[in-house]
Structure 1
Amino acid sequence: MKSNKILAALLLLLFIGFTGCSSKKEEIKADKTVPVEVTIVVKTSIEREIELVGTLQPWKEANLGAQTTGRVEKIFVEEGSYVKEGDLLFQMDDTQLIQAKLQYQLAKDNYERMKPLYETGSVSQSQFDQVKAAYESAEKSYNLLLTNTQFRAPFSGVVTSKKLNDGEIFLLAPTGGAPTIVTLMQLNPLKLILNVSESDFNLVKTGQTVIVKTDIYPDKEFKGVINRINPAINPATRTFQAEVKVPNDGNLLRPGMFVRASIEIGAKDGIIINRSAALKQLGSDAYYGFIVKNNTAKRVELKLGKEFNSVVEIVSGLSEGDYLVTKGQGLLKDGSAVEIKAKAE
């Protein structure tokens, strides 16, 4: 009788221990479920732009020099001088010009005396033709010397260099090219040449707005317009050139400035998520996140696009309607059991 009681007590202890272990296993299993918050992925309209860098150039630039060797009579401008189209910049020695002017005036007077006589029949056609030819030749010679003696601004701009001084001799280069006496640049507008990837060729059009920024004026934006597109692709760089016309009222911008440019190409639907939902993989530039399917976490590789402060565009890795984990993803791994605690629409 006593042995039966001992046996019953042992069986009771075993039962209690078994049920206790089962409860602990169930607790451990339950503890492996990770509570998370998710948001439903939706598409939204995103303003698209192509971001590039470049260096500003003058809209026009002229290196002015004489066509023949001669003495510089007078330079009327200094470096930094602003001039208008047609202003006199410098003058070469005018000795030949004075002689040509006298010959031109004599030929002109002779022609004006001969013309009424020819009209009344007092002189022959051949006599009048000789006088007229001499007059026209003298006029052309004078005008040619005039343009090679008095040099005027071909456009409005600023003088950026002055190579000679009054009285110095201007010499032609041995190759026959004329060195510069004065360099003139047009600063309003300015030109910006952008090298655009061939993959964006169909997105870039003339007339599109380009936002130009420089670190010199961090709070200012300058708006330019695509003026010309080179139709050829550079086979070495796989890029094409787009010329941007940048208005420069007040001359705040200058040639040689490094700028950042954004070509506005319009709006297009895309996916935007909170920046914190994209996790960076250690030791690389890759990003990943987690979506929930059937209460199970699935790891997805994310390709990031344009960033907007606390949110970022996802180029690939997510689809509209996915349940993206926004909180608790740091405790997850691929295949983790999850419990959705909150859902954001």
Structure 2
Amino acid sequence: MISQKEYEKVETDFKAAQAQYEVAQAQLKVASSALKQAQTELKDTIIYAPFSGYISAKFVDPGQRAYTMPPTDILELIDISKVKIHLDLPERDLPFVKPGAKVEIRSDAFPELKLEGKVNRIYPKVDPSTRSFRIEVLMDNPKGILKPGMFVGARVFLGKEEALVIPRDAILRAPGTGIEYCFVVIDDTAQRREVATGIREENIVEIKQGLREGELVVSSGGQNLKPGAKVRINKTVSL
């Protein structure tokens, strides 16, 4: 048995302890909320790259404040494990270029390397000023050899279709007309023959119209000839 006074004291002490507990719980919630906010802010100070690559540009300095709204550009990250190459080709090649065609890439910076890619896209527009069209080549870039902005040379493989070709030096152009022609040799006489050309490679050009297989063509010095001039064949070359 305890007295009423003792009971009231115990009850008062209990209520005081309970109040202190509730205050402590509230303080714990506030502290937990502050901790989560601090953890979030700390996490926001660390930016993780969305993919592996190289930093190509930095836009802020250490210690400079960055914001999420409006967003602050911090750096530029690029992935060059695969690269896209844009090539401009003459419009006469348009019928022959197909998606997936092999493309051989060369760079003056690395002349010993021979890289290969494939035609990934053919743009549907011809540039009226250059009479050329653009293709996109996709290729693997081992060890990041090729860099964005570099100039490269390319050779597009257009298939194995049979074609009649002659040396590029054999093709002449009539001044002011755009007409192309060459000289063929018949009975030791030079005869001018207008031709329609197609695909051009480094040293040869496709003849689409104007010549027949087996005809003798003057491969050099044609600019000095006149129709009907007598010629002497020193040698013939097979292409």
TM-score (normalizing by structure 2): 0.61
Question: 1:222-251, CA deviations, whole angstroms, 9 ceiling, x for partnerless residues?
Answer: 111233445x43676676553322211122
For 1:207 and 1:101, the matched residues in 2 are separated by 61
For 2:91 and 2:54, the matched residues in 1 are separated by 36
Structure 1 segment 1-345 matched on structure 2, within 5 A: 102-103=32-33, 148-171=44-67, 177-196=70-89, 200-230=93-123, 232-233=124-125, 241-273=134-166, 278=170, 280=172, 288-292=182-186, 297-302=190-195, 306-307=200-201, 309=203, 313-324=206-217, 333-336=226-229
Question: 1:9-68, CA deviations, whole angstroms, 9 ceiling, x for partnerless residues?
Answer: xxxxxxxxxxxxxxxxxxxxxxxxxxxxxxxxxxxxxxxxxxxxxxxxxxxxxxxxxxxx
Higher strand share: 1
Change over 3 Å in CA distance of 1:318–1:186 after alignment to 2:
same
What is the percentage of aligned positions where both structures have the same residue? 30
For 1:178 and 1:337, the matched residues in 2 are separated by 78
For 2:49 and 2:153, the matched residues in 1 are separated by 32
Residue 204 of structure 1, CA deviation: 3.0
Question: 1:243-290, CA deviations, whole angstroms, 9 ceiling, x for partnerless residues?
Answer: 3222111222111111122221212222234567x2757978965313
Residue 160 of structure 1, CA deviation: 1.5
Q: Does the CA-based 8 Å contact 2:86-2:136 persist in structure 1?
A: yes
Q: Does the CA-based 8 Å contact 1:291-1:300 persist in structure 2?
A: no
Instruction: State the partner residue of 2:12.
Output: none
Secondary structure of the corresponding residue to residue 220 of structure 1: strand
Secondary structure of the corresponding residue to residue 166 of structure 1: coil
Letter in 1 for 2:105: V
For 2:146 and 2:58, the matched residues in 1 are separated by 22
For 1:253 and 1:325, the matched residues in 2 are separated by 42
For 1:328 and 1:224, the matched residues in 2 are separated by 38
When the two structures are aligned, how many residues end up with a matched partner?
Answer: 205
For 2:189 and 2:72, the matched residues in 1 are separated by 76
Residue 159 of structure 1, CA deviation: 1.1
TM-score (normalizing by structure 1): 0.45
Change over 3 Å in CA distance of 1:203–1:314 after alignment to 2:
closer
Question: Runs of 5+ in structure 2 lacking a partner?
Answer: 1-28
Q: Does the CA-based 8 Å contact 1:302-1:314 persist in structure 2?
A: yes
Higher helix share: 1
Q: Does the CA-based 8 Å contact 2:101-2:156 persist in structure 1?
A: yes
Q: Does the CA-based 8 Å contact 1:297-1:337 persist in structure 2?
A: yes
Question: Runs of 5+ in structure 1 lacking a partner?
Answer: 1-98, 107-137
For 2:90 and 2:184, the matched residues in 1 are separated by 33
Change over 3 Å in CA distance of 1:227–1:297 after alignment to 2:
closer
For 1:274 and 1:234, the matched residues in 2 are separated by 28
What is the RMSD of the two structures over their aligned residues, measured on CA atoms? 4.6
Secondary structure of the corresponding residue to residue 250 of structure 1: helix
Letter in 2 for 1:187: I
Change over 3 Å in CA distance of 1:148–1:200 after alignment to 2:
farther
Letter in 1 for 2:59: K
Question: 1:88-135, CA deviations, whole angstroms, 9 ceiling, x for partnerless residues?
Answer: xxxxxxxxxxx99944999xxxxxxxxxxxxxxxxxxxxxxxxxxxxx
For 1:165 and 1:288, the matched residues in 2 are separated by 65
Change over 3 Å in CA distance of 1:314–1:256 after alignment to 2:
same
Letter in 2 for 1:288: C
Larger Rg: 1
Instruction: State the partner residue of 1:70.
Output: none
For 2:128 and 2:237, the matched residues in 1 are separated by 49
